[in-house]
Chains A and B, each alone.
Chain A
């Protein structure tokens, strides 16, 4: 036991070392350095001073080779606790970050408590009252939490809170309390504000925990030892808590260590939106201006705490006896023989059984249709758009959505059927000193099907001008979901953005699949030093918190790269983290299968390793892997959305749901033009929800032990 602890601590040291090197490299990746940014900004302001630049460069040691800079930095940290100087703010990094770190971790821990307090009871209830109304509601809300990107939820909540409750938005305390001493009133004000970031960051964590708890508990609820407890005369509630819940909780204890960095990571984006005094906004700014030591120190500290968290969770795991899930046994097809002429029911193969189980899960079937529909939209692309997504119009900037109508009234009092969009005209509102749009009852925009519109290439191959739906007169403009700040049609942009967002998910998952299965398989099947090496690699990658890592990598993408190349690099970045969980899962399955009797039998029969893996092991867990992949796609989509929202990764004029949301980045914009937020937001939520339900349904169907 102590030897184990000692060994884990020993492993930590090279990991931390590697983390620090990687952090430093990431910070250095973008071409140029802080002084270049400063020069650019000064140049814009019309100031010129190249001499001072050289002096500064010398002073900060920026001209020296990388390893020298790294060495100086690490030396300062380890020997003096000096994390360097922030170029931009001209203050020691230590001063800037400690206060913010305190808030970050304070909020994260409170969020952790919130998650546990809500998710565990809901998860337990969901499992015990499976398929009841309560279960569906809880699952649904859980999924909503999972599907809505953190920042989107933050924006929505801020909007609601401002519009309907008049609460000041942004920051942790109201403006009047900012510099005031800590009175009781100030605490009350703090609580009024702090619940929002906690709930926002916590919902996705709670959603994941609910699902896991439900699944774990369902695994245990029907086991023999529960029957024994019942046969002893225990009440249902008592035996629930003392036996299956306790067993189902085990895997959780080991995840405590991982949750903390996830919270810190997730909180970063939300903090940017909500203007919280935590590390997030500081890190984003530092990355964008290449304030090297500040960004590096932040990432380093957060990573260190992650590694510590991993250590804690591994130690806790060492206390526990993990339960391996049972592998799937293949049921072979037999012809129905019966001499007495009595028909026997069919014996079905495993995939048939999975499909039948899946079909009964109505929500999952429905989601399958929705996902198919979304991919169809992605494929058909511009055939479905009523307008040209890139076409700007000065007269239509920020136009609100136009409503659809069927009946048109003639001037002489009659009416006829004509699909149309109500027209809006622009007016100058003298009170608000702005342009506003009002309904124009005297005109309308006729719409039709299979109309001629702007030119595009269907599936990238065939040129066409026909669109499924749109204004009958190609010169008309109909904005059914409103227009953005350049007058471009939001509906058309969302449709076109579907392709990019959904395909990043697929491609990312494909990359993760290949890497994850290969590495996980080698690790699990062969064990030994290969396993060790791969596990260390996985641990190292997981130690660096995802958001800062993505931000760092994405910020390194030169802005002048062609969009396609940027797209692929963003995909690779996003899948780089994804493969680690897949690899771990594959490894786990291989490990548990390796000791199964049927594998030993296969080996004794003389099968080669490759045959054993392909013919016997892979079919046993392929259904689980499929389910995992389906669940990974929405995560990739959310990742791309988050990155684009922050302004790194995909850039406008590339259209993706993330870049669309970037337009709705601050609350002021949303209050004036809420459709900028709602439309892409709803699209994302629907897609992610459908994929999640689908994946969940697949996983339930593939599990042979599910009741």
Chain B
């Protein structure tokens, strides 16, 4: 299913590329074009109308993302490319931070109490005040 989705997207991209200027077409490496051609879905019929927007023609999300990537890499001005890359870097940093936070949370969960009830494993974390009281009680017991 995933291959078909990409296959259709590559076909749409190739059709759109037929309508760009030769100068912009030549900026795309031949290997990339060959990759699209090799992996496009030949049975998928798509005709691009330059008088309509991509959304009006229901161009797939994947195809639009690929067009966005091509724009960033080959057609954007230096200024546009710089802005895009700055945003991408920022987004990736946020993503890494999220992953980091999630990993920390996972590690923390290892230290929590685990109770089982009817073959279910549930995490049970005692409130802080209770833990303190319980520690004091243990200490008192030891003293006795």
Q: Do A and B come from one complex?
A: no
Binding site for B on A (CB under 8 A): none
Binding site for A on B (CB under 8 A): none
